[in-house]
Amino acid sequence: MKLVELPYEYDALEPWLSEQVLKWHHDTHHQGYVNGWNAAEEKLEGQRTEGDFSDTGSILRSFTHNYCGTVLHNRFWNNLSPNGGGKPEGQLLEKIEEDFGSFEAWKEEFKAAASAAGGWALLVYMPMTDELHNVVVDKHDQNAVWGAHPVLALDVWEHSYYHDYGPDRGKFIDNFFDYVDWEDVEQKFDEITSKF
Ligand SMILES: [Fe+2]
């Protein structure tokens, strides 16, 4: 697996997210998760060949951490745009209004999730109940919801904002909404729901 390219330049999300932070975040942190995932797969392959499963638990834990980190960063980069902001339209907006009461209610709940998270705030689609739901994730996978598909992700790890905002995570979260690419989120929602 290779690191995905950013769909914009490193400075494209300024002033919300500085060029320096985006470069570190993508080239070092995200790359680290991709490398960790690949290394775990290689070790698993080696174990299977050798028939030695003495370290399986720690390797599988590393796989989950790094795979989930890769998946969520892929979503995060793509649901951002220098031309973002506003509100979703069409089926996604209807579904948000159906499941949360209003776009504003969804947004306030999502902001609260982002304030509380030790990793990520996610808007996910749950095929089993045909519902959108906000989720608070610690690290990349703790409190994950089985069978749910992220349509919008916000990274609130300290590497995401601390260099630009210090302890003022609230400002980072508030300004995030000006950079949400709702067209991308709508496409992801349509893509997922069309499979169920
Ligand atoms: Fe991150």
Q: Tell me, what's the pLDDT at 99?
A: 98
Q: Tell me, what's the pLDDT at 89?
A: 96
Q: How many distinct structural domains can be found in the chain?
A: 2
- Bridge partners of 134, per DSSP, are 123
Average the pLDDT over 56-66 and give the result.
98
> Hey, is 127 helix, strand or coil?
coil
Band (9; pLDDT cuts 50, 70, 90): very high
Domain range for 35: 19-78
Q: Over the chain, what is the mean pLDDT?
A: 98
Same domain, yes or no: 169 and 107:
yes
155 CA to centre of ligand 1 in angstroms: 5
User: For the whole prediction, is pTM greater than 0.95?
Assistant: yes
Which secondary-structure segment (H or E) carries 111? helix 103-116
Band (154; pLDDT cuts 50, 70, 90): very high
147 CA to centre of ligand 1 in angstroms: 22
**C-alpha span between 145 and 128 (Å, rounded):** 11
25 CA to centre of ligand 1 in angstroms: 6
Band (185; pLDDT cuts 50, 70, 90): very high
In a domain, 14, yes or no: no
Same domain, yes or no: 103 and 53:
no
Same domain, yes or no: 96 and 127:
yes
Band (119; pLDDT cuts 50, 70, 90): very high
**C-alpha span between 9 and 70 (Å, rounded):** 19
12 CA to centre of ligand 1 in angstroms: 17
Q: What CATH number corresponds to the domain at position 122?
A: 3.55.40.20
Q: Tell me, what's the pLDDT at 177?
A: 98
Residue 148 structure tokens:
């749910």
54 CA to centre of ligand 1 in angstroms: 31
Same domain, yes or no: 116 and 186:
yes
For the chain, give the percent of residues with pLDDT over 90. Answer: 99
Between β-strands 131-138 and 149-155, what pairing exists: parallel, antiparallel or unpaired? unpaired
